[in-house]
Amino acid sequence: MLVEETAILDKANRFIEMMRGKVNPQYRQNYHFSAPIGWINDPNGFIYYKGHYHLFYQYYPYDSRWGPMHWGHARSSDLVHWEDLPVALAPDQPYDSGGCFSGSAIERDGKLYLFYTGCQEIDGISHQHQCLAVSEDGIHFSKYSGNPVVAEKQLGENGLIQEFRDPKVIVHNDAYYMVVATKSTQSTGRIVMFQSSDLYTWHFYSVLLEGTLEQGIMWECPDLFHLDGRDVLIMSPIQIKKNGLEYHNISSTMACIGEVDWETGQMIVDNFHEMDFGMDFYAPQTTTDPNGGRVMIAWMQMWDRTLPTHELGHLWAGSMSLPRELRVKKNRLVQKPISTVYSHLVYQQGSENIAVTDTSVVFRNALSDSSYLHLVADLEKAEVFTIELLRSKTDCLKLTYDTAKQVFELDRQKLGRELTGAEEDPLNVRKVEIPLIDNQLVLEIFRDTSSVEVFINGLEVMTATFYELEKARDILFHSIGESRIQAFETASVK
């Protein structure tokens, strides 16, 4: 028995159609997904289904702030351009009256199954439990009348029902497993697994992994997959402690590389690390592409930050990262820009073999609101190589490589509107340690109206949002000791 769509869902869809034209376009993204109007956070239910990638997302259409969660919905055939679809889920049942929180999608016999967390207050205690909605066409969803399918009964003493969310359902050896975030009574993160043979009836299987006190007070949005011969668990820890250059945001993302013992349901972790060294990257989720590759997308924002589009009354907030292709190399998860984006590039400027010294080299009009930059620089004779992007008289986004320290830095302090957050200091500078490859620094930079993603030497990524006060397109290079730009090309992303 399935429950049909309701008035609450209808109301959301009517509101979006009526109001979407009123969104202020000033900071709207061009090729990164954002909702037609309103607030978004985590990507949900990311899946390739019947010829399209479907992306669902945590959604509150009525305000540019978080509110009772719906699941927004869009689809794409190339992961660059998105088509909005009607809202898929609204908080319209007693068991999800407090919101339809994050979750995942899986296909079975041509039907699309969404698993999400329903929030409900029972006897004054907030309960988070896992619910199911099913669709024949991938657009209209009916909630299962037996919801919730995983609740207090299945969780037992293995976690806290108040903090029990974000189910990711996967298949392993013909059985379904649901990986869910919860926490221990000592306030450490804990990922638990449930098992099912039919997606409707679930039983507790194991504690997959437990966090330490340093690793945050809760782990959100887990995702488990097998890649390049390793098992990978990614998740988003809240308040994980800083460790060197890692984990400086109030909430972070972490990849654990190791092996799952499917007999015991426990994971042995060989290495773990932060996934993105920028300021705005959270709750990533993955899916497989039709060729079996692993693709990831994340919310390109951070909790508890100032949000100019909200403060300015622009009626929207939040967007998604560029989808990224994943591989495991030397026990680290590495990310490449989604390969389909390259067929949307229209090349504009190109230069090669330019010496940069303490006399600056400037490229005028190099980066538009929707652009790509590829740069290869030989830093054999350099001490510090600096790139100032979006440079006006007063502002710029500064990227620096220090060859002695082997540290790359992204600095948005002097770019646009001031941004602050729950962190002790305004978090506008981040660094990552990264070696040169044969003395070379290789950058791929994706710039949209209000975001930048910097892929460094094919190994690390830094993602940041910004809100320019004045539009600027120049790029300036500067070097202490000589740097040699071997390749410089810019393109616009169409």
Q: Which residues bind ligand FRU (CB under 6 A)?
A: 41-42, 58, 69, 101-102, 117, 165-166, 220-221, 282-283
* Residue 61 identity: P
Quick one: 253 or 492, whose CB is closer to ligand FRU?
Answer: 253
- Nearest distance in Å: CB 276, ligand FRU: 15
Cis preceding linkage at 91, omega within 30 = no
Closest to ligand FRU by CB, 16 or 181: 181
Calculate ∠ Cα 168-171-175, nearest 5°: 115
CB contact at 8 A, 46 and 294 = no
Among 47, 106, 40, CA closest to 70: 40
Report residue 466 as tokens: 């910004």
Is 179:144 a contact under the CB 8 Å cutoff?
no
Half-sphere exposure in the Cβ direction for 69 (13 Å, CA): 22
Nearest distance from C-beta of residue 201 to ligand FRU, angstroms: 23
Residue nearest to ligand FRU (CB): 101
We find the least distance from the C-beta atom of residue 399 to ligand FRU, in angstroms, to be 28
Continuous segment of H or E residues that includes residue 10: helix 7-19
User: CA-to-CA distance for 488 and 436, rounded, in angstroms?
Assistant: 17
Count of CA atoms in the C-beta half-sphere (13 A) of 230: 22
What is the secondary structure of 125-137 as a DSSP string? EEEEEEEEEEESS
40/415 Cα distance (integer angstroms): 24
Shortest distance, position 488 Cβ to ligand FRU, whole Å: 37
Closest to ligand FRU by CB, 221 vs 491, is 221
Residue 166 CB, nearest approach to ligand FRU (Å): 5
The backbone torsions φ and ψ at residue 128, rounded to the nearest 5 degrees and listed phi first, read -115, 125
Say which of 10, 42, 228, 270 is annotated catalytic: 42
For ligand FRU, the closer of residues 117 and 483 by Cβ is: 117
Closest CB to ligand FRU among 220 and 369? 220
Closer of 160 and 480 to ligand FRU (Cβ): 160
Min dist CB 465 to ligand FRU, Å, is 16
Q: Which is nearer to ligand FRU, 221 or 341 (CB)?
A: 221
Closest CA to 95 of 66, 67, 60, 132: 132
Q: List helix spans (H) across 80-212.
A: 152-155
Nearer to ligand FRU, 99 or 258 (CB): 99
CB of 293 to ligand FRU, least distance (A): 25
261 is catalytic: no
In angstroms, give the least distance from the CB of 302 to ligand FRU. 9
Q: What is the DSSP string of 404-465?
A: TTTEEEEE-TTSSS---BSSSS---EEEEE---BTTEEEEEEEEETTEEEEEETTTEEEEEE
**Total length of the chain:** 494
Q: How far, CA to CA in Å, does 94 sit from each of 103, 127, 141, 407, 477? A: 18, 12, 17, 52, 58
Active site residues: 42
